[in-house]
């Protein structure tokens, strides 16, 4: 194992180990107030009907000013008060109108939730209402989920803006199977019930008068749930013969059944990348494995159930390749892809899916994970003929983004694992393969091998796609592509 683009023949830019390798408001003019004060008109002299003596005054002398008596003004203190009140009232009303218009605009016209790549917008209360408003159906694609290692079923309710557990009253296998199909699974294992812990937000109860439609349109909110809440298993996953008590600290050869989800992805019969079985129909790998000349599905073959990349196992043909639409070939952001197989994989004790992480499963810095693959065991070497694996601890993003490590290059869709001292890593040929951890007796997919600088170098740990962050995309593709 020693790491990344980790496609065997990809010359890395910065030794990119490829195989280890998401308003103008109209203004309102204030109404003009009528002039409440009449213009002052000086009194006009009226001719007297009686002739009188007009003294002769020399025009070279100034005429003394006439002292007029001040007339009665309309602008009395009482009228001023009335005018001020009227003006203030009008101003307040105008401000209220403007405020109401602004509220209406931001509530009804602004983009509250954006639909994937289409750029369309929907209102918040339309998200997960049981009716698809987005062109690609994104608003209804991730509205039910399983939570925690116990697979507790939850549904998102827009009215409450919250994920709520579902009460087990009137629940049965028929509804459980329908929910698994809505999530994108072609399989259903069982439904169960566990005690309802206190939920400040409440619970969801089935509306028995609604017999059809998606779960989120068939439930109502309640603060009472005495029957317990639903648990849902759509697929058997995460089983392995691996004994985690034997921690591999330098990488070593795997045994058959240790990593039953591990597959070899071969292009024209040559190993290029690794991948993970997540359902009988889907393989999860890295987007950089299927870009460029590798973007056609037909030359690809998936080998399962073997420790050796060239012999043994069973081969499956690929029907379609689905790379993340926002994958960035330079930064490796959103480095994830799915392979849709032409026929489902036959599951055995040595061929098993790995569990996709449930919501609420938080990985911690230092948590033990395992990476596996047929990658080179030394930097610049050829890929290994036999499957190897190594234990690597998770590294928090703050540490991984330090200037001496990856200097801010690790995004939310990435997760780091390895040793800052170097020595253990994934390498060329491991790209797309699994990074897994064991919790509650099951193995969970934490990441897919994405990139790194060199193999096992100091301060250059492996960087993987963050599966938890990418779950909504995974389920949308499974729903869309069947």
pLDDT digits (tens, 9 = 90+) for 331-359: 999 999 999 999 999 999 999 999 999 99
Scored b (16 or more CB within 10 A) or e, 258-280 reads bbbbbbbbbbeeebbbbbbbbbb
In three-state form (DSSP H/G/I as H, E/B as E, the rest C), the secondary structure along 163-179 is EEEEECCCCCHHHHHHH
Say how far apart CA 404 and CA 415 lie, in whole Å: 17
> CB burial class (10 A; 0-12, 13-18, 19+) of residue 52?
exposed
pTM for the complete prediction?
0.76
pLDDT band at 247 (very low <50, low <70, confident <90, very high): low
pLDDT tens digits, one per residue of 398-437: 999 999 999 999 999 999 999 999 888 787 779 999 999 9
Between CA 411 and CA 314 the distance in angstroms is 36
Query: Taking the mean position of all CA atoms in its chain, how far away is CA 435?
Result: 20
> pLDDT for 60-111, tens place per residue?
344 444 454 444 555 567 777 777 787 888 888 888 887 775 665 554 455 6
The candidate with the shortest Cα–Cα distance to 428, out of 28, 10, 41, is 10
Residue 374's alpha-carbon distances to 263, 271, 290, 415, in angstroms, are 10, 8, 18, 21
Mean pLDDT of 171-199: 92
How many Å is the Cα radius of gyration of the chain? 36
The catalytic position among 335, 425, 430, 448 is 335
Domain 138-233 adopts which CATH fold? Mac-2 Binding Protein (3.10.250)
Token pair belonging to 161: 């803006």
The answer to whether 431 is a known catalytic residue is yes
CA distance 45 to 39: 19
Contacts of 16 (CB under 8 A, 6+ apart): 4, 5, 10, 332, 451, 453
Alpha-carbon distances, residue 73 vs 46, 70, 158, 213, 416 (angstroms): 21, 9, 64, 77, 84
Q: Which of 239, 431, 448, 450 is catalytic?
A: 431
335 counts as catalytic: yes
Query: Taking 50 as the threshold, does the pLDDT of residue 187 lie above it?
Result: yes
Name, of 15-19, 134-138, 389-393, 450-454, the range with top average pLDDT.
389-393
Q: What is the pLDDT of residues 82-92, one digit of tens each?
A: 777 878 888 88
* Catalytic residue, candidates 5, 191, 258, 288: 288
- The whole-angstrom separation of Cα 449 and Cα 416 is 10
Answer whether residue 44 shows pLDDT above 70: no
Q: Which two tokens stand for residue 477?
A: 């593709």
- Is position 398 annotated as part of the catalytic site? no
Q: What is the mean pLDDT of residues 16-45?
A: 41
Let me know how many helices (H) and strands (E) the chain has, helices first: 4, 22
Q: Which tokens go with 22?
A: 């998401």
Mean pLDDT, the chain, integer: 82
pLDDT greater at residue 130 or residue 47:
130
**Domain extents for the chain?**
138-233
**Comparing C-alpha atoms, which of 88, 123, 81 is closest to residue 105?**
123
- Token pair for 145: 């989920």
């Amino acid at each position: 194992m020693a790491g990344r683009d980790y496609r065997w023949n990809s010359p890395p830019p910065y030794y990119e180990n490829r195989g280890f390798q998401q308003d103008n408001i109209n203004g309102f003019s204030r109404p003009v107030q009528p002039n409440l004060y009449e213009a002052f008109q000086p009194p006009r002299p009226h001719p007297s009907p009686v002739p009188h003596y007009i003294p002769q005054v020399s025009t070279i002398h100034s005429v003394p000013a006439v002292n007029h008596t001040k007339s009665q003004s309309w602008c009395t203190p009482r009228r001023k008060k009335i005018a001020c009140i009227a003006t203030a009232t009008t101003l307040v009303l105008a401000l209220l109108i403007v405020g109401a218009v602004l509220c209406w605009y931001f509530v009804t016209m602004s983009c509250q939730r954006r639909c994937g790549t289409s750029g369309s917008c929907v209102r918040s209360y339309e998200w997960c209402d049981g009716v698809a408003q987005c062109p690609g159906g994104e608003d209804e694609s991730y509205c039910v989920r399983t939570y925690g290692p116990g697979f507790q079923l939850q549904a998102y309710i827009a009215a409450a803006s919250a994920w709520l557990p579902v009460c087990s009253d009137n629940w049965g296998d028929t509804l459980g199977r329908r929910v698994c199909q809505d999530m994108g699974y072609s399989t259903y294992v069982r439904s169960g019930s566990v005690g309802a812990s206190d939920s400040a937000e409440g619970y969801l109860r089935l509306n028995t008068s609604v017999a059809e439609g998606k779960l989120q349109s068939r439930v109502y909110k309640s603060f009472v749930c005495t029957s317990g809440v639903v648990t849902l298993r759509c697929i058997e996953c995460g089983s392995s013969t691996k004994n985690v008590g034997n921690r591999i600290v330098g990488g070593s050869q795997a045994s058959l059944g240790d990593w039953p989800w591990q597959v070899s992805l071969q292009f024209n019969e040559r190993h290029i990348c690794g991948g993970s079985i997540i359902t009988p129909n889907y393989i999860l790998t890295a987007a950089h494995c299927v870009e460029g000349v590798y973007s056609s599905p037909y030359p690809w073959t998936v080998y399962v159930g073997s420790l050796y990349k060239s012999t043994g196992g069973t081969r499956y043909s690929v029907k379609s390749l689905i790379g993340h639409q926002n994958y960035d070939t330079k930064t490796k952001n959103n480095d994830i892809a799915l392979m849709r197989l032409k026929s489902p994989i036959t599951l055995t004790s040595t061929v098993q899916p790995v569990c996709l992480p449930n919501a609420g499963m938080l990985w911690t810095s230092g948590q033990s994970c395992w990476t596996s693959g047929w990658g080179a065991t030394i930097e610049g070497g050829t890929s290994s003929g036999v499957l190897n694996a190594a234990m690597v601890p998770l590294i928090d993003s703050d540490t991984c983004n330090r200037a001496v490590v990856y200097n801010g290059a690790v995004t939310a869709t990435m997760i780091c694992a390895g040793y800052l001292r170097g020595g253990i890593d994934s390498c060329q040929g491991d790209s797309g393969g699994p990074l897994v951890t064991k919790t509650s007796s099951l193995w969970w997919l934490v990441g897919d091998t994405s990139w790194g600088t060199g193999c096992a170098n100091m301060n250059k740990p492996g960087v993987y796609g963050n599966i938890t962050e990418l779950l909504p995309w995974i389920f949308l593709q499974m729903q869309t592509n069947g």
